[in-house]
Structure 1
Amino acid sequence: MTATVTLGRIAGIRVGVHWSVLGIVAILAGLGIARWPDAIPGQPTAAYVVAALAGAALFLASLLAHELAHALVARRHGIPVDGITLWLLGGVARLRGEASTPAAEFRIAAVGPLASVVVAAVCGVLAWVSVLVALPPLVFAVLAFLSLINVVLALFNLVPAAPLDGGRILRSLLWAWRGDRYRAAVASARAGKVFGLALIALGGVWLLAAAGANGIWWILIGLFIVLVASVEEHQARTFAALSGLRVRDAMTPNPERVDGATSLAAFVDDLAPTRKHSAYPVVDPTGRPLGLMTLDRVGSVRRERWPSTPLDAVAHAMTAVPTVGPDDELAEVLPRLQDGRTDGRGLVVEGGGLVGIITPSDISRIATLRGLSRSKSAGLFTGRGAGWP
């Protein structure tokens, strides 16, 4: 989830909002404006509007506290954090990596609901104080609302189903118990799909019973959970298939490379048409890698400038290209490859020299072959088919 607007940084972590966050503001503000005049009559219309907007804004702040807790603990465990984005269905802390131990996984997951509980407690105390010092009743209403909704947020996130925090906690416990993080991830993702389908069914029943439009909200949340859980299950199976493999097992060794001084015109007219690849390592005369040239980069330069533009000025620079070693664990470097700007491609470097290139098709091919091999072994020795675990 990419932020539409960047708000700034907190503790060095980039914070932004996606345009869909306006949906949360509209829903919460609308509920406040519609219901608070009945619950607390006699206030000016402007007061209800201000209180409703303040409640919505403070709820977003509590979502930010939840995600910031995840990000800070993840960073303490050595996991880089790209940023936090608030959007329609809550917030996302974008972590660039996975926890290295079940204990770290547990702490990163559990701190989010804990932060929501702390926010709920603080708001509850402030609501009580607002009554003691005789503040306007709408102040109490906003604080009590924030306390309640953060308790709900914490409880909902503790449901043991991916991608919720409870699913991460379940994954960490299964990982610690069974010693296999990927089997644990599959189990957590399956629980997520079941929970998501249950929410969709609940929303459907709600709509059919004409109990209001809230059913649509539950259906949307359920669809999101099913979608993300399905993606996580697929990723876990892929990681399991790659477990124990090295980059050298999947890479294309000694890839075709192009001289960085070659003009873009020569590349387009003479080199690219005669070769079948869509990406080429760019090197200097000594063979040192300078970047990665992909065909989609051609369109970034006007045609009349092709003859005078060298490839090393157009290609993805090395700072934007994931680089890995041939003996790196394939499953461990996969997140780095996916987080790059080169559509999953990476250069394999050893001793400063280019020894290979690794692409999504390389990984997909070896994962498929590994999966077929494991399925065959399971059928031969356990009497089971390809179902796993």
Structure 2
Amino acid sequence: MRATFTLGRIAGVRVGVNWSVALVFALIASGLAAGRLPEAYPDRAWPLYLLVGLGAALVFFASLLAHELAHAVVARRHGVGVDDIVLWLLGGATRMRTEAPDPRAELRIAGSGPLVSLLLGVAFALLTWLLDTTGAAGLLVESTAWLAAINLLLAAFNVIPAAPLDGGRLLRAFLWRRTGDRLRATEGAATAGRVFGWVLVGLGLWQFLWTTWFGGLWLALIGWFLVMAASQEGRQARVRELLAGVAVRDTMTPDPVSVPERLTVDQLLSDPSLTPRHTAFPVTGDDGTRPMGLVTLDGAGGVPAERRARTTVAEIMRPLPETRVAGPDEALADLLPRLEPGAEHRVLVVDRGGRLVGIVSPSDVNRTIRRMATRPRPGQPART
């Protein structure tokens, strides 16, 4: 899930928001302002309902962010790199660069999020009690009660042992420790996720068809997402196993065509040696070896024609801190979570001296996967 815009960094982790959050935010705020709050405390002014509903929705998304930040912070303490956190339609996602090094680390990383949600739920419950006993405004008491309930529900739902939920990670940690096989553990958690997802799909459709409750469609949507996400995790686990032992240098396109940061957009687009052979180019400094960022033809083409002659590549490129970078000796399997479709998501390969030595695209990885898939296993004859 891609971020539509970035909020910034918290604890060193980039936080992004997908446009779909606006839909959920509106649903939560309107549901509280037009439903729960007026039912509990009628005869209040509607702007007050709306204000409290908006505030509760904001605090809820802050709670979601705290849940994901817990994953990120604990992951980094265990040596697992974190790309970013993205809040989206069905909650949040923390994108990690590598797998947990062992079952214990997996257990701690997975359990940290639900634990934070549980603590928040308890804290909001205590706050509700305190506000109620001190005679605080009823709408404030009702909103904190809702926040307590939703955080406790979030914690409970996430520990269900089904991938891609946190509970699926907990299940994988248990199976991994028991069997010593991370692939088998991942496939077991993925199977549990698909089963649970289909159960939610069936239950949601039944509720919608037999009770005309539109919330059943939402439940079916969540179930369908779980089925798809669990299936993807299973596929990724098999790919990671297939690519075990393969380094980035074995897959990258070496010595990629790069462009200097002082090159103008007009020169870039008019050079027949550059286009249309490639869709993205590493941008280098004056020495021609040190990467400064990544520029795409789509980005260059978006510059108005009258400005191209005086606009440099450095002005429109994705700067290096925002570009995915890998080392040539890094395991290719660890690079997979960072690969996404789109020219702007190419991975630059940089050696220890900071020099650009290659570039990796999804097509490079797909060629390697096909090659490894046709490689005979030990004891098996080669295919002809």
TM-score when normalising by structure 1 = 0.78
Tell me the distance in 2 between the aligned counterparts of 1:303 and 1:369: 43
2:60 corresponds to which residue? 59
Query: Residues of 1 paired with 2:36 and 2:281: CA distance?
Result: 61
Cross-structure match for 1:360: 362
What do the CA deviations read for 1:265-296 (whole angstroms, capped 9, x no partner)? 598554247x9665666778987355667655
Q: Please list, as runs of the form range in 1=range in 2, the aligned pairs for 1:1-389 lying within 5 A after superposition.
A: 1-4=1-4, 6-7=6-7, 9-32=9-32, 33-41=34-42, 43=44, 45-253=46-254, 255=255, 257=257, 260=260, 265=267, 268-272=270-274, 288=289, 290=291, 295-296=297-298, 299=301, 322-336=324-338, 342-347=344-349, 349=351, 356-373=358-375
Whether the aligned pair in 1 keeps the contact of 2:252 and 2:359 (CA below 8 Å) is yes
User: Structure 1 pair 213/377, CA: closer, same or farther in 2 (3 Å)?
Assistant: farther
The 1-side partners of 2:85 and 2:295 are apart by 31
2:176 aligns to what SS in structure 1?
helix
Shift of 1:311: 7.9
Change (3 A) 1:341 1:175: farther
Alignment check: 8 A CA contact 1:323 1:349 kept: no
Structure 2: how far apart are the matches of 1:7 and 1:262?
31
The offset of 1:217, in angstroms, is 1.1
Local SS of the residue matching 1:209: helix
SS in 1 for 2:167: helix
CA distance in 2, matches of 1:309, 1:5: 24
Compute the displacement of 1:204 (Å): 0.6
The 2-side partners of 1:212 and 1:168 are apart by 32
Superposed CA RMSD in Å reads 3.9
Amino acid at match of 2:31: L
Aligned equivalents of 2:328, 2:5: Cα separation in 1: 39
**Alpha-carbon separation, structure 1, partners of 2:8 and 2:307:** 38
| Residues 189-224 of structure 1, C-alpha deviations (whole Å, 9 max, x = no match) | 232222222211111101101241111111221222
2:204–2:220 contact (8 Å) kept in structure 1: yes
How far apart are residue 317 of structure 1 and its match? 6.6
Task: Give the drift of 1:105.
Answer: 1.9
Query: Cα 1:378–1:31, aligned 2, differ >3 Å: closer, same or farther?
Result: farther
Q: Distance in 1 between matches of 2:250 and 2:115?
A: 42
C-alpha distance 244-38 of structure 1, shift in aligned 2 (>3 A): same
Normalization by structure 2: what TM-score?
0.79
- Rounded to whole Å, the distance in 2 between the matches of 1:351 and 1:151 is 49
Give, as a single letter, the amino acid of the residue that structure 1 aligns with 2:78. H
* Worse overlay, 25-34 or 207-216: 25-34
Q: 1:15, 1:218 → 2: CA distance?
A: 27
| Larger deviation, residues 215-224 vs 18-27 | 18-27
- Give the CA deviation at 1:166: 0.7
Structure 1 residues 100, 55: closer, same or farther in 2, change over 3 A?
same
In the other structure, the counterpart of 1:383 is none
Structure 1 335/89 Cα, relative in aligned 2: closer, same or farther at 3 Å? closer
The one-letter code sitting in structure 2 at the alignment partner of 1:332 is D
Q: 1:315 to 1:268 in 2, by over 3 A?
A: farther
Deviations 1:91-149 (A, max 9, x none): 23344443233222211111111111111111221222233223343333222222222
What 5-or-longer segments of structure 1 have no aligned partner? 381-389
Are residues 320 and 143 of structure 1, via their aligned partners in 2, closer, same or farther at CA, if it must alter by over 3 Å? Answer: closer
Q: Secondary structure at the match of 2:111?
A: helix
State the number of aligned residues. 377
Structure with the greater alpha carbon radius of gyration: 1
State percent identity of aligned pairs.
43
